[in-house]
Structure 1
């Protein structure tokens, strides 16, 4: 891991900057298990090919929660736990650029590709996290590690760019067509994002299943055609009502659902999809399953189901940006809590408390 000292060792004589005299900043990192530390660190200084971003909003993700539960990450096999700078869903504005940067300027508003800098993935084990006042974009290049956004989109909605790229990759991997009928398990941000992309793709019928009524209402608000409360309803029977009746490879009746998306990450969801699947259906798994789980492989034979894994956003990180701008009102409904950076501990407490929040975005004052 590159140290912050090495990232800030270049003098500011080579850069163009806005009016600011701060030399230190606050940054959020993992603390003892289940907690964060807000620490003071040197504000980065951009080199000739770098840009300095003032963070204006940053979302909190399930990956952040995983690092919090771990209390950091191990320094090598069996090594001591070291703090992880948190936050990989930032949006902000450029306040300083290096002398060789010609395609960005001070005042540009941008979203970030956290996988696009040489010091490691931002907020996921790299030298920097996005949950800080200023973020250095090393070797900055629009289209590779940043994308300029218009001032018509609020920073909090812009901060959804990264998770919505994850959801878009899931939908791309599904190869859903307009005539398809789809069930999305899990009405968290990724599942709801997938539902939005499916409808924007022109998919005929999208159903969302979850166990939390408020999430199901949000699914309807963002354009899902129907919802299923899987804590109270028989998913297979309800799907047959919604999508009609098909059959598996043995001719046994099954819902005529073409694609199942697992954005929940529990074995019950996967097995429900497998046992409900008609002949040739697909299961696309985007959720993280945190432990090995029993799966009904016999059901795979009976349906000849295709199972597809989806990870990250190989090409989608900035493919989604313009549509995020165009449909910002729909995406804004995914945010359940806006918390100021001055209360960042509360923001993480909300995220760590099951059922307390759906999508928390931390905002930074002017």
Structure 2
């Protein structure tokens, strides 16, 4: 079969044997595979990622000297089953899969390990237990977006937003755009999106962002509006407690303590926006910590491959919450697939190009330069 491998940062189209499914494995004919932003990063920063993965107990992450078929966002048709499978679906059935593969009793990350080649190929192996059938009639282009949209759904859930809470999305690449789609699907009423690229800003508008900002000329924080509960200075924050006491002590019928307890249970009082960092470059977290209003929740979704710093004292003074979102769970994945199938998210807006295997190296360059948003690979195009 034909596939695209990466070795020492170089992408090459090669011929290699079609894999044979092992125990519990299924051979899929690849219909579409998405190029993920993390693939772009890992291509040049593989060793740093592998070192971190080893520290958390996964020693099989790809390294620079390895030859790996990447691609963990894919949909395909079932070709054949390996031994020990239940053969739940007929050959020809279209499926998506969690990008995890059991090999000799160990779990490997599909497309990010030599032991589990990914979807930049005509065929790929999947774990039968990880398969989800694609709803009838769903376009493969859209089914292939299940994985990145599941990442976004998980991040939005981690943010704990209420519909009336403002959201800020920093970076409108594929994951930032997916976060916008999921925020609007969740009913969030005010989404501010920020990106330097005019093309990505236009895509953010199409994905439903209410306000789109070029950070070179405008500030996303100023576009949150004059919303009640937003606090932007220390005197305002610290003085709010005194003002509340002053007002409540004037009402003698109900003890002020009881009123404040009830108000807290109802979620009253100051509350900052939920900010999604979708860039993944050093310095962005510090920029957000410095600029965001008090009491903000920051969800870090962008994968920064290099060491980074921010000022904890600034975050402490503002009482910020920081959360780091990695991927998803099987429920997120399944729910996302059915959201796409039912049209709850208009995922087609993410796709800017579909290419064959021969065009993957050029697509990487276009993505790195910001000329494309989401590029899909169709191996049948050559």
Asked whether the two chains share a fold, i.e. TM above 0.5, the reply is yes
Aligned-residue offset at 1:222: 1.2
Structure 2: which 5+ runs fail to align?
A: 52-58, 238-269
Per the alignment, do residues 226 and 97 of structure 1 end up closer, same or farther by CA in structure 2, a change over 3 Å counting?
same
Query: Does the aligned pair in 2 maintain the 1:97–1:105 contact within 8 Å?
Result: no
Counterpart for residue 140 of structure 2:
155
- Residues of 2 paired with 1:151 and 1:248: CA distance? 50
- Residues of 2 paired with 1:103 and 1:192: CA distance? 34
- Residues of 2 paired with 1:197 and 1:186: CA distance? 15
Aligned-residue offset at 1:276: 3.3
Counterpart for residue 165 of structure 1:
150
Superposition misfits of 4+ residues, deviation over 4 angstroms: 70-77
- Residues of 1 paired with 2:173 and 2:203: CA distance? 10
Query: Does the aligned pair in 2 maintain the 1:183–1:257 contact within 8 Å?
Result: no
Equivalent residue runs for 1:1-366 within 5 Å:
25-33=1-9, 35-47=10-22, 49-70=24-45, 81-98=65-82, 100-118=85-103, 120-127=108-115, 128-138=117-127, 140-141=128-129, 145-240=130-225, 243=227, 246-248=230-232, 250-252=234-236, 257-315=272-330, 316-327=332-343, 330-351=346-367, 353-365=368-380
Q: Give the stretch that moved more between structures: 282-291 or 232-241.
A: 232-241
Structure 1: which 5+ runs fail to align?
A: 1-24
Could you say what secondary structure the match of 1:178 adopts?
A: coil
| Count of residue correspondences | 333
- Residues of 2 paired with 1:203 and 1:238: CA distance? 16
- Residues of 2 paired with 1:80 and 1:132: CA distance? 20
Deviations 1:35-57 (A, max 9, x none): 21222222123346432100011
- Residues of 2 paired with 1:49 and 1:115: CA distance? 12
Query: Does the aligned pair in 1 maintain the 2:299–2:323 contact within 8 Å?
Result: yes
Query: Does the aligned pair in 2 maintain the 1:30–1:67 contact within 8 Å?
Result: no
Could you say what secondary structure the match of 1:68 adopts?
A: helix
Per the alignment, do residues 68 and 266 of structure 1 end up closer, same or farther by CA in structure 2, a change over 3 Å counting?
closer
Q: Give the stretch that moved more between structures: 182-191 or 198-207.
A: 198-207
- TM-score normalised by the chain length of structure 2: 0.79
Which has the higher Rg, Structure 1 or Structure 2? Answer: 2
More RCO (CA 8 Å, sep 6+): 2
- Residues of 1 paired with 2:92 and 2:317: CA distance? 58
- Residues of 2 paired with 1:112 and 1:76: CA distance? 20
Query: Does the aligned pair in 1 maintain the 2:221–2:292 contact within 8 Å?
Result: no
**RMSD between aligned residues:** 2.8
Query: Does the aligned pair in 2 maintain the 1:71–1:83 contact within 8 Å?
Result: no
Aligned-residue offset at 1:31: 3.0
Deviations 1:167-194 (A, max 9, x none): 1111111111112111111111111111
Query: Does the aligned pair in 2 maintain the 1:67–1:84 contact within 8 Å?
Result: no
Per the alignment, do residues 197 and 364 of structure 1 end up closer, same or farther by CA in structure 2, a change over 3 Å counting?
same
- Residues of 2 paired with 1:313 and 1:76: CA distance? 20
Name the structure with the higher helix share: 2
Query: Does the aligned pair in 1 maintain the 2:7–2:65 contact within 8 Å?
Result: no
Per the alignment, do residues 225 and 261 of structure 1 end up closer, same or farther by CA in structure 2, a change over 3 Å counting?
same
Aligned-residue offset at 1:248: 4.9
Per the alignment, do residues 174 and 151 of structure 1 end up closer, same or farther by CA in structure 2, a change over 3 Å counting?
same
- Residues of 1 paired with 2:162 and 2:362: CA distance? 42
- Residues of 1 paired with 2:181 and 2:377: CA distance? 23
